[in-house]
Amino acid sequence: MRINMSHGSGGKASAELMNNIFGKHFSNSILNKMEDAAVLELHGRIACSTDSFVVTPIVYKGGDIGKLSVCGTVNDLLMMGAEPKYITAGFILEEGLKLSLLDNIVSSMARTAAAAGVVIIAGDTKVVEGKGGIYINTAGIGSIPEGREISAGNCDEGDVILLSGTLGDHHACILSARMGIDNNIMSDCAILNPIVNTLFKNGIKVKAMRDVTRGGLGTVLNEIADMSRCGIEIIEEALPARPEVRSFCDILGLDPLYMGNEGKMVAVIAAEDGEKALELMKKTAPGREAALIARVIIGKGVIMKTRLGGSRIVDVLYGEGLPRIC
């Protein structure tokens, strides 16, 4: 069975799709009311984020577009110090999409949402002509507990920067699949709640957090340096990356510094809490390969101290990271 235009008609086929797939996996007391809008009770400061997911292939090693669509929005909320509460999901389905595949994707979203402690409270489905593809938009809100002031503009000289794990896994996995390169590189797509929760629970002085997605670490650190009007010095030797990802990058002329992840973050921590924060991070599943990779310094932009003691400037990513010729 595949998606056809009648599934987007609003009639019986739409209702069946709703009950048999979305209702089955997403069922909860707010969504089940089936009103025109979800009604929520929230107090205090609210963080809100939205993101659209268009990844191909739809299913890849270590995840699928459904898991990714929840991780992406949940992680964005977490990076502001918010506790993610609710998300919405909008689907654009192309004619020809297998219903069994859609069922798997929706089920994957439901599992990831449950693990992240968020409830899917509203949704929408449209069907368009195409070749069996799927696009998902998620929007989420979370509440920010009293006293949390997280911003990329908060960093000061001496702060340390922790990276929660290896660089480039998701990007290398997707690119391998698209280019038909057979390897064992898995996407790192994951929710970052365990890391963020442990840092706050243990009173770590967190200044800023960012998830390392498109643009990679190089771009993220430049954004932090710009917003905090400071410099950042990366220690090359400290940067974690899997050997297979490094080799993949070498072959294609890509730099792990500019490769996207979907389950990694950087946290800027007050110097005195740096070591403790690193230990805590390493005790979590998504942070077990965490490392202290950089320091905030007086100055401007991002520089890297290289393995041999040289230094170089690390700029933002320009354009698309296309594989080179040889």
Residues of this chain that interact with other proteins (CB under 8 A) are 178-181, 251-255, 301, 304, 306-315, 318-319, 322-326
DSSP letter at 145 equals P
Q: Measured from the CB atom, is 44 or 310 closer to other proteins? A: 310
Q: Measured from the CB atom, is 23 or 133 closer to other proteins? A: 133
In the block, tokens 């009103």 appear at: 35
Work out how close the CB of 292 gets to other proteins at its nearest, in angstroms, rounded to a whole number.
Answer: 20
Q: Measured from the CB atom, is 26 or 258 closer to other proteins? A: 258
Write b or e for each residue in 18-46: b if 16 or more Cβ atoms lie within 10 A of its Cβ, otherwise e.
beebbbebbeeeebeeeeeebeeeeeeee
Work out how close the CB of 231 gets to other proteins at its nearest, in angstroms, rounded to a whole number.
Answer: 12
Return the closest-CA partner of residue 192 out of 70, 50, 90.
Answer: 70
Determine contact, residues 88/121, Cβ cutoff 8 Å.
yes
Please give the structure tokens belonging to residue 137.
């938009």
Please give the structure tokens belonging to residue 95.
């004619």
Q: Measured from the CB atom, is 37 or 179 closer to other proteins? A: 179
Q: Measured from the CB atom, is 74 or 230 closer to other proteins? A: 230
In the block, tokens 């009173």 appear at: 203
Helix boundaries (H) for 42-155: 65-78, 99-116
Work out how close the CB of 258 gets to other proteins at its nearest, in angstroms, rounded to a whole number.
Answer: 9
Q: Measured from the CB atom, is 180 or 203 closer to other proteins? A: 180
Integer CA distances (angstroms), 280 to 123, 202, 249, 285, in order: 36, 9, 30, 11
Q: Measured from the CB atom, is 138 or 222 closer to other proteins? A: 222
Work out how close the CB of 305 gets to other proteins at its nearest, in angstroms, rounded to a whole number.
Answer: 8
DSSP H helix total and E strand total for the chain? 9, 13
In the block, tokens 């270590």 appear at: 62
The Cα–Cα gap between 37 and 40 comes to 10
Q: Measured from the CB atom, is 122 or 257 closer to other proteins? A: 257
Q: Measured from the CB atom, is 208 or 304 closer to other proteins? A: 304
Determine contact, residues 136/91, Cβ cutoff 8 Å.
yes
Work out how close the CB of 181 gets to other proteins at its nearest, in angstroms, rounded to a whole number.
Answer: 6
CA dihedral 38, 192, 216, 92 (to 10 degrees): -30
Work out how close the CB of 152 gets to other proteins at its nearest, in angstroms, rounded to a whole number.
Answer: 20
Burial bucket for residue 191 (CB in 10 Å: 0-12, 13-18, 19+): buried
Work out how close the CB of 259 gets to other proteins at its nearest, in angstroms, rounded to a whole number.
Answer: 13
First to last CA, the chain: 43
Work out how close the CB of 312 gets to other proteins at its nearest, in angstroms, rounded to a whole number.
Answer: 4
Work out how close the CB of 69 gets to other proteins at its nearest, in angstroms, rounded to a whole number.
Answer: 25
